[in-house]
Amino acid sequence: MNPPLERRYNRRVNSIEWRGAMLFLLACLCVVFPAHARAESTLLDPGPAPVVVAMMRSGSITIRTWDRPQVQIDSDGQVQSQQIPPEEVQRRFPAQIPLVAQTLRTPRGPISLPPERFVAPPLPPGPHSGIVVRGYGKTTITIPRDTAMVIARVGRGFVAIRGYRRGFFVALVHTGRVQLNGVSGTGAVQVLSGPIVAVNSSFTRLRARTVRGNLIFEGCNAMQIEASSVLGSIAYDNGRFQPGLAHFQSEHGNVALGIASGGVQIGAHSAAGHIYSDLGSGENVQSSANDARAILNGGGPVVTATSGTGAVILYHGSIREHPQLQRRLPMFRATILRRPPARRPATFRRPPAFRRGKPPS
């Protein structure tokens, strides 16, 4: 197969995979009800704790909250909105959310994300109406603070969720990015090609994964988190952990953990790279070239960080508190400070100021 035909074939396969997953979600929530199509502001009154599903072929979806019971939809494109009665939402609510298999062509060859299913938490007691929004363009959806569930999908563009707390969220982007600001609760995020950025957020349970894209968590607090990238790097900067399990894995990128406070037990491994730490002489750290164990502040939640070919870097607090680390790792600094992303995933060079620890005795 020649390259142009192969590219068209891969785009068709990815499109079919996305359509299959979205049809599943629509089948869970949607039946035939009148749809309202417009490119202006729409105000809907779904009742308490609604379920909101938004899907855009291209453009953006911004989810924000307010203290009103209505759902407001503003778009500069063309969107359709449907309201689903509570009995249909209850009957069709998915027990599991599919994270579909997707394949991306890269200089390393085709790379695939395997299919996964994310178990959805149960809806709160009581009736829940549904709002379904479909179309294209730059769209902002303002939802009540008590919204029970948000699902947002964009083919090419981005999803931003801001200030949504104590709910269930799903963000799916094929090519683009996902941003979570001041978000809390349980959620699943998948981007085939592009970054995932979470700032000042708190997760009861989170699954986040990409093929080609960095995963950046800044000032976050997690109870249970699983974050993975095939080609991108992962940074959990100035973060905290609650009792639970946390796992960060990159096949060809790097993993950096900046622990803000609290006790943790860290297990770090790099198959072909190295482990570097700047945790201070007073901490209980045992490390070799490829493995490290660290018990900080007496221990606590178990946190594991692994990389196939990249490095694993452990440090206290924020990258902003390590000027020497910033100088030695400028791409890491730019990623954490959310400057315009580089064309390639961030890479780490060995910082001369950081020495490898002694092997465990």
Distance CA 196, CA 45 (A): 31
pLDDT digits (tens, 9 = 90+) for 246-258: 999 999 998 999 9
Q: Give residue 49's pLDDT.
A: 97
Mean pLDDT score, 336-343: 47
Q: Give residue 39's pLDDT.
A: 56
pLDDT digits (tens, 9 = 90+) for 88-122: 999 888 889 999 899 999 998 999 999 999 999 99
Q: Taking all residues of the chain, what is their mean pLDDT, rounded to a whole number?
A: 84
Per-residue pLDDT band for 53 (boundaries 50, 70, 90) equals very high
Phi/psi for 331 (5° steps) reads -70, -35
Q: Give residue 336's pLDDT.
A: 63
Structure-model confidence comparison of residues 222 and 342, the more confident one:
222
At which residue do the structure tokens 């949504």 appear?
A: 164
Given a cut of 80, whether residue 25 has pLDDT beyond it is: no
pLDDT digits (tens, 9 = 90+) for 264-321: 999 999 999 888 888 876 678 888 889 999 999 889 999 999 999 998 989 999 988 8
Per-residue pLDDT band for 360 (boundaries 50, 70, 90) equals very low
Distance CA 160, CA 61 (A): 6
Given a cut of 70, whether residue 134 has pLDDT beyond it is: yes
Distance CA 196, CA 214 (A): 6
Q: For the whole model, what pTM was predicted?
A: 0.85
Burial 175-213 (b: 16+ CB within 10 A, else e): bbbbbbebbbbbbbbbbbbbbbbbbebbbbbbbbbbbbb
Given a cut of 50, whether residue 150 has pLDDT beyond it is: yes
Among 9, 19, 21, 73, residue whose Cα is nearest residue 46: 73
Mean pLDDT score, 2-12: 46
Cβ-contact 290, 312 below 8 angstroms: no
For the purposes of burial, counting CB atoms within 10 Å of the CB of 91, is it exposed (0-12), middle (13-18) or buried (19 or more)? exposed
Mean pLDDT score, 199-204: 98
Distance CA 140, CA 130 (A): 17
Longest CA pairwise span in the chain (Å)? 70
Given a cut of 70, whether residue 201 has pLDDT beyond it is: yes
% of the chain residues with pLDDT over 90: 66
